[in-house]
A and B are shown apart, each in its own frame.
Chain A
């Protein structure tokens, strides 16, 4: 049986008279990359803050790395996790190298590790640069590097590539996959569906503080695919043919006449599924 790194049961969080999370249940297995998808204000960051001991739950039970909530502020737990949130700051007057050196010392990591993580986030040549001179995207990459500097058992990433261009996002995704291959479990929040599809083994759709759907991206797309395939013909027309035996003759007919340019299964994107389930766009 696979070991659960995160277990959340009936989690709720209320701020004043506003409910941020309501009866949230999920578990994350060891070695998994788990995505929490939802629009702004859906409760993604609140969940990360609770799982990292920065916020206390109103009710419910949580266990992270086999530790109950009350142990999540302990040094031993923090040694095993890495966190990137929207409020992760850097020392502006120090260089990238100096910022990371502090965290190497705090986590008891050899200083040479800085070169490796800077390579991963595509900043190897910028180590001496003072943080106040960095662009928003570069800052995001440095905070990300800091989050996985110590190769944590569990990495929490809140919108890890939100400020990045496609080239750097790709670089980061590669680095995260490498880290995941080495055994780090990743819990990430995003509203970037392609990022979720590329990185996540399973995703949960969060809307108005509730999980509406949870499964592997591929399974969700298959489950919500309609019963047809999309065929592009040589005359420029695009037609839908039923997937079942009833469409076989029609497809055979086009193929035998050499009229087929391409055939695609008609699966929805995760974004389409989210809209179908919640009636909201992922913005």
Chain B
């Protein structure tokens, strides 16, 4: 089974056109940008606040848009049409994820400009951001596949978005509730720890563990998503 860029690109083009006519995409991006604009007006904005905006963008733009795209395909029975076409699972998923990926990158650039975040070293932060986008895309796809409609998706996605979008706030409660220590391994917390180390001038030797943890989230979520997709491929 060979991967055909042409087919992936056709799905991407279709999604781009379809979503450009869709209100929820515009409003979701607007929310993230609005939040960034509000925080950007504050004095002495901390690294945590910069990353709260970034994590929020991951959650509401990447996660939610991806989840809604997949859920809508399911609700309207168009995903079945794609599955019955020569497009493979990887082509469908890559095509459908590219829109969320590009939308996230553009939104992040605008948000980071509005909050005035300029990392001490761009490369490690860029790698961490790209890995995080992959994680949120996989998570959004999974939730979209588990939903029957866009309405259901917008409900099912909320707790997950809360945990991964705002979960870093819960770190402050770890001393009181040790069970919350698991949050330290969440990708949204890992990227903040990584960003602090980058600001301290540390190199890849000191941050690889954070990248590794985020990568592990990507791999595990992607594997679960593939299994669920394969199950959904059949109409049992």
Contact = CB atoms under 8 A, between A and B. Distances in A.
A and B are interacting partners: yes
Interface of A: 49, 52, 54-56, 73-76, 78-79, 81, 83, 85, 87-94, 98, 102-103, 105-108, 146
Contacts of B80: 54, 85, 87-89
Contacts of A106: 7, 10-11, 82, 85-87
B86 A94 contact: no
Contacts of B85: 78, 103, 106-107
13 contacts: A52-B84, A54-B84, A54-B235, A75-B87, A76-B86, A78-B86, A87-B80, A89-B80, A91-B78, A92-B76, A94-B21, A106-B86, A107-B86
Given A89-B78, A91-B76, A105-B10, A79 B17 contact: no
Contacts, number: 74
Contacts of B82: 106
A103 B87 CA distance: 10
Most buried by A among B11, B76, B235: B235
Q: Which 4 A-B pairs have the closest CB atoms?
A: A89-B77, A105-B10, A89-B78, A79-B86
A87 B78 CA distance: 8
Interface in B71-127: 76-78, 80-82, 84-88
Contact of A94 (B10, B11, B18, B235): B18
A175 to B, nearest CB: 20
A94 B81 contact: no
A98 B17 CA distance: 9
Contacts of A93: 18, 21-22
Nearest to A94: B18
Given A55-B236, A83-B84, A105-B6, 19 more contacts: A54-B233, A55-B235, A74-B1, A75-B88, A78-B84, A78-B86, A79-B86, A81-B84, A87-B80, A88-B80, A89-B76, A89-B81, A91-B14, A102-B11, A102-B14, A105-B9, A106-B82, A106-B86, A107-B85
Given A88-B77, A91-B78, A75 B18 contact: no
A49 B234 CA distance: 9
Nearest to A95: B17
Contacts of A107: 85-86
